[in-house]
Structure 1
Amino acid sequence: MAATQRSIRSHAAPAGPDRDAGHSQTRPQLAVVRRHNATDAMVEGMHRIASWTRARSAPMIHVVIAVIFLVASLVGSLLFRTKMIENSFEQSQVESSIFTLTQDIQADQSRLDDLETSLPQKAEKMGMVPAQKSISVDLNGYKVPDTDGSK
């Protein structure tokens, strides 16, 4: 039975030029495609968006608000990144100036230490002698002299 069905199917559509005689096939037509420049493409895109929003329940204002939000987000992100880079650059400059000042302070401190250690030797060269005992002045009984002459 399967062989019979197969032969019926194979004989149903005869092969060769006789098969195409009863059917008229149409070839697809060729058309010239015009090249668009960038402005035409942008205008066409805007027209597509406008027609899409008219066909949908969302009005054009929602699309405009979404585009403004996206542009504002992009600009805000770029400004934020620029400010972060400026702050980073300023921080590195401040750190380098702090490092330079720290080096200057260490150099001045080492010179001060050298001067303090050489101070007793310089005093001896000038003829100074170390104090034998400490001298103190007691100002408890001191009175300020009256200069205006009222008493």
Structure 2
Amino acid sequence: MATARTIRSSEPSSRKASPDIRPSARPELHVMSGGKDTDRDGSGASRFTRFIAWASSRRAPAIRVVIAVVILVSTLLCALVLRTQMIQNSFDSSRLEASISSLTQDVQDDQAKLNQLQASLPQKATDMGMIPQQGSVSIDLKGYKSNGERK
């Protein structure tokens, strides 16, 4: 770089700078009071304002910081939504399992009641005066004639 300056300084000064070329702006320095990590009032407000001032003084890194913050926040929100959905599904599943077990118990109770009623059926029939069937009975309808056919 030193040789470049000597070459430029040795050029004739009669040459005028073009209006398109402007000297680059120098960064401004600011005096900051207080320590690095401490605030006078104990809040993070001045840290935040210092961060914003730092980010706004550098355009390209500020965009990167914003993009990184957006990605982090969206990742956290997606994780929260997925976790909430998983908990909801788990709650629904446990509720359905409880309902299935209740219905299974009801079916078993009804089956036990039916078996008890079937077991008491012969006694009830006897109490009503019915008698059990003795042997098998068969009816032969081959020789049957209706009332209209008898003569």
TM-score (normalizing by structure 1): 0.57
Superposition RMSD in Å: 2.6
Which residue pairs with 2:45 in the alignment?
A: 39
Structure 2 unaligned blocks of 5 or more: 1-32, 142-151
Q: Write the deviation string for residues 65-122 of structure 1: whole angstroms up to 9, x where unpaired.
A: 2221211110010011011111111211211222222112111111111101111111
| Counterpart Cα distance in 2 of 1:137 and 1:60 | 104
Letter in 1 for 2:113: R
Which residue pairs with 1:88 in the alignment?
A: 90
Q: Compared with structure 1, are the counterparts of its residues 89 and 134 closer, same or farther at alpha carbon in structure 2 (3 Å cutoff)?
A: farther
**Residue of 61, 72, 75 corresponding to 1:73:** 75
Letter in 1 for 2:136: K
| Counterpart Cα distance in 1 of 2:105 and 2:87 | 27
| Counterpart Cα distance in 1 of 2:80 and 2:45 | 26
What number of residue pairs does the alignment pair up?
Answer: 103
Q: Compared with structure 1, are the counterparts of its residues 136 and 114 closer, same or farther at alpha carbon in structure 2 (3 Å cutoff)?
A: farther
Which residue pairs with 1:149 in the alignment?
A: none
| Counterpart Cα distance in 2 of 1:137 and 1:59 | 105
- 1:1-151 correspondence to structure 2 within 5 Å: 33=34, 35-36=40-41, 37-51=43-57, 53-54=58-59, 58=60, 60-131=62-133, 132-134=135-137
Identity %: 44
Structure 1 unaligned blocks of 5 or more: 1-31, 139-151
